[in-house]
Amino acid sequence: MINFPTIKKSIVKSVNTLFEGDNIQDLIVIENTKKDFEGDLTLVVFSLLKLSKKSPEKTAEFIGNYLLENENYFEDFNVVKGFLNLKIKQKYWLTFFKGWLEEDNYGFVTIPTGELYMVEYSSPNTNKPLHLGHLRNIFLGDSVVSLLKAAGHKVVKTQIINDRGIHICKSMVAWQKFGNGETPMSSNLKGDHLVGKYYVIFDKVYKQEIKDLIESGITEKEAKLKAPILIEAQKMLLLWENEDSKVRALWEKMNEWVYSGFDKTYKDLNVKFDHLYYESETYRLGKQVVQQGVENGVFYLKEDSSIWSSFTNDNLDDKLLVRSDGTSVYMTQDIGTAVQRYNDYPNLSGIIYTVGNEQNHHFKVLFNILKKLNYNWASNCFHLSYGMVELPEGKMKSREGTVVDADELLNSVINEAKSLTSERGFLEELSEKEILDICKKIGNSGLKYFLLKVDPKKKMSFNPKETIDLSGHTGPFIQYTFVRIKSLLNKYEDLNSEFSIENLKLNPKELEVLKWISNFSDVLAQSAKELSPYLLANYLYSLVKSYNSFYQDHPIITEKEDALRNFRIQMSKLVAEIIEKGMKILGIEMPERM
């Protein structure tokens, strides 16, 4: 929505003058004119028909003619059924533009709301390295944090490290049996890659044992439960929960390898967290809360001593919370983590869980359980669900080793950027360090923008060859436009040159750029409200396309008319600022050269 309060007030005042009735302003709906129609603002008149006693078209024409005669803002209108499309005079666009130039941080909420949100994202398991799926999660969560801050909120960035459980024990058992003391140093592998290697080995051995057991005459279902290596992992998990010193020592050693690997990847991604939670700690509180729930009649015990939550009245299956052997499940630690977070931050306005849509049911059950436990903040927990990232050849599977490793992917896009820049030959006089810095910014831009430009609710297919293209719908395309603008501005001495709006005539392409600029604050607000960075990503692309169309057809520095040249300089300057700030929200840095 174009944020022109004065113009909107004039429309409301005119409609109030034309029609009699109570609370007429509540019936007035003003929208941006859709791109297929001519106009800037659209008044939807259907809700006014009872007052006008006319058809939608006649009502719209009646209001439109009145506005042209009595308000100075409008130069024309057209009617499409019950929609009155109003065209704003150029001098008001220029007036608005001058106002935007004077704002210290145009588009951002500068008065704090006083609300505090926690955003959980990444939250990896310590049995494998980060992969492509994690990257969509990380980029989505990190940009949502920045959007909430742009909306005036305070934010705590957090993750839950899933550092315990049967999947962790699988890697540990495989390393014990087949590792021969291998370490990150001896193998020259990042720690998370090394541990992930043994998670894959476990799965291969497990499948072979199942095959052997089936051939010995038992069913596949029985074989899956009786495979010796799985039984070893289950025993190890029980020993871990009973704090066996040897198991704990192995667990700590292998986890440290993984944390070291994660830290390097996060550093390469320029991602930092404010508060880390560990499942190995929060599961204890979860078990306490669950036990209290049993005592209070919220949960029930089965004969085998396992603890369950009943969902008979909610059309859901009952949920296991603690196994019969006393070991906990994911749900247990998620309950404990939620409680711990509100203990740590009692003034939280809400928690946003950035987790793939494969866990939709899990979070529906979790939030339901928290409500059963009468936590008054349970309704402020929100699952930011997103679609899975698939490869052209299909779904990724960690245990089978068919994932796209995050580190390898980062290196590949940086190498693509190196090839791109070397072909163009614009960086030859720079040092290797300077070239690498630029290539990292270009490569990361291609990757982040590609994963963020799609509605998070949608499943997406990833093709790395499409991420870096200076003429496509990509991050590097937006970066390239920014670099062109900065290069142009560097050639002009007086970047703060004034211009008079009197007698200044804008061409349609200049006006189109101003209209895109005008939408920035509303796009930020909507993106933050809907937790949808893709709205901002696509807006920036549209702004850049509009600016490029203007740039190709009209001179800027060489424009002979002073007022028009200075206007174009100021417009270019503001476009560059919006690009830089908007891309920063998406976690993307701007290079100085390309």
Render pLDDT for 486-515 as a digit per residue (tens, 0 to 9): 999 998 877 677 888 888 999 999 999 999
- Same domain, yes or no, for 540 and 412? yes
- Same domain, yes or no, for 190 and 45? no
How far is Cα 50 from Cα 68, in angstroms, rounded to an integer? 23
How far is Cα 208 from Cα 179, in angstroms, rounded to an integer? 18
How far is Cα 228 from Cα 212, in angstroms, rounded to an integer? 11
How would residue 384 be classed by pLDDT, with cut points 50, 70 and 90? Answer: very high
- Same domain, yes or no, for 426 and 572? yes
- Same domain, yes or no, for 414 and 557? yes
> Residue 280 class from Cβ within 10 Å (0-12 exposed, 13-18 middle, 19+ buried)?
buried
- Same domain, yes or no, for 49 and 178? no
How far is Cα 279 from Cα 159, in angstroms, rounded to an integer? 10
pLDDT of residue 192: 96
Sign of torsion, CA 118 124 129 134?
negative
383 part of a folded domain: no
Q: What is the mean pLDDT of residues 210-216?
A: 96
pLDDT at 362 over 60: yes
Long-range contacts at 288-296 (CB < 8 A, ≥ 24 apart): 288/336, 289/335, 289/336, 289/339, 289/373, 290/321, 290/322, 290/332, 290/335, 293/372, 293/373
How far is Cα 39 from Cα 83, in angstroms, rounded to an integer? 11
- Residue that has been written with the tokens 């040249």 in this structure: 565
pLDDT of residue 396: 43
pLDDT at 49 over 90: yes
Sign of torsion, CA 561 562 565 567?
negative
- What three-state secondary structure class fits 286? helix
pLDDT of residue 470: 80
pLDDT at 67 over 50: yes
Per mean pLDDT, which range of 100-104, 110-114, 571-575 is the poorest?
Answer: 100-104
Cβ proximity of 51 and 17 under 8 Å:
no
How would residue 92 be classed by pLDDT, with cut points 50, 70 and 90? Answer: very high
pLDDT of residue 466: 82
100 part of a folded domain: no
326 part of a folded domain: no
pLDDT of residue 22: 76
pLDDT tens readout for residues 329-340: 999 999 999 999
pLDDT at 402 over 80: no
- Same domain, yes or no, for 81 and 184? no
pLDDT of residue 265: 95
| Residue at which a domain ends, from 272, 290, 309 | 272
| Residue at which a domain ends, from 272, 305, 332 | 272
Q: What is the pTM of this model?
A: 0.90
pLDDT at 221 over 90: yes
Per mean pLDDT, which range of 26-40, 347-361, 542-556 is the poorest?
Answer: 26-40
310 part of a folded domain: no
- Same domain, yes or no, for 188 and 82? no
Element of type H or E holding 325 = none
pLDDT at 526 over 50: yes
- Same domain, yes or no, for 436 and 581? yes
pLDDT tens readout for residues 345-354: 999 999 999 9
pLDDT at 5 over 90: no
- Same domain, yes or no, for 71 and 178? no
How far is Cα 77 from Cα 85, in angstroms, rounded to an integer? 5
Q: Which of 324, 333, 226, 237 is nearest to 279 (CA)?
A: 333
* Domain coverage including residue 258: 164-272
pLDDT of residue 111: 95
Rounded to 5 degrees, what are φ and ψ at 584?
-65, -40
CATH code, 556: 1.10.730.10
pLDDT tens readout for residues 118-150: 999 999 999 999 998 899 999 999 999 999 999
- Same domain, yes or no, for 180 and 268? yes
Per mean pLDDT, which range of 33-37, 476-480, 578-582 is the poorest?
Answer: 33-37
pLDDT tens readout for residues 149-187: 999 999 999 999 999 989 999 999 999 999 999 999 999
Q: Which of 21, 137, 145, 9 is nearest to 73 (CA)?
A: 9
The average confidence (pLDDT) of the chain is: 92
| Residue at which a domain ends, from 244, 272, 300 | 272
pLDDT of residue 399: 46
pLDDT tens readout for residues 428-486: 788 889 989 999 999 999 999 999 999 999 998 887 778 888 888 999 999 999 999 99
pLDDT of residue 421: 79
pLDDT at 397 over 70: no
572 part of a folded domain: yes
How would residue 6 be classed by pLDDT, with cut points 50, 70 and 90? Answer: confident
- Same domain, yes or no, for 59 and 203? no
99 part of a folded domain: no
How far is Cα 62 from Cα 49, in angstroms, rounded to an integer? 12
466 part of a folded domain: yes
pLDDT tens readout for residues 253-288: 999 999 999 999 999 999 999 999 999 999 999 999
Specify the pairing of strand 307-309 against strand 300-301: antiparallel
Rounded to 5 degrees, what are φ and ψ at 463?
-130, 105
Of residues 295 and 404, more confidence is placed in: 295
Number of domains observed in the structure of the chain:
3
Spatial CB neighbours of 282, under 8 Å, sequence gap ≥ 6: 160, 333, 336, 337, 340
pLDDT of residue 21: 72
- Same domain, yes or no, for 462 and 576? yes
